[in-house]
Amino acid sequence: MGSEAPAGIEAHAGSEAPVGIDELLERVRSGYARIEAADAHASAQAGEALLVDIRYAALRERDGLIPGALVVERNELEWRLDPQGSHRVPEATGHDLRVVVICNEGYASSLAAASLHQLGLRRATDLVGGFQAWRAAGLPVTR
């Protein structure tokens, strides 16, 4: 069984210098177009995107939830959104699904979106600035 790294992530081999997280983020983000909070909100309202909140429970409890967003813990994301997976959520309807991954500040979500690309979800993206940017933009949040 071979294993492939997410888009923009190369396995460390031989004498190559390790890649730092900043470079890794730059690489994976160059593989897709990220989305701003207002555009993510409009896309979700129009039924054109599925918002997926991967923040851990303590952050959701502290800061609230985005109405209509699907909450999926980061460690379950690929299993829940793989349209071919036996543990998928009903919203995982196909590989053409537009998924907007949301973490707290927009870092972990970039790596998560790259991982979804590896599963064939080529329209997956993440929210620039994460939940904090959503809230700062004055978009809906429930407690």
Q: Are 115 and 78 in contact (CB under 8 A)?
A: yes
Q: How confident is the model at residue 116, as a pLDDT?
A: 98
Is residue 3 very low, low, confident or very high in pLDDT (cuts 50, 70, 90)? Answer: very low
Q: Which of 47, 32, 60 is nearest to 131 (CA)?
A: 60
Q: How confident is the model at residue 13, as a pLDDT?
A: 52
What distance in Å separates the CA atoms of residue 80 and residue 69, rounded to the nearest whole number? 14
pTM value surpassing 0.95: no
Mean pLDDT for all residues in the chain = 92
pLDDT tens per residue across span 54-110: 999 999 999 999 999 999 999 999 999 999 999 999 999 999 999 999 999 999 999
Q: What angle do CA 124, 117, 13 make, to 5 degrees?
A: 140
Helices (H), the chain: 21-29, 37-45, 57-63, 77-81, 108-118, 130-136
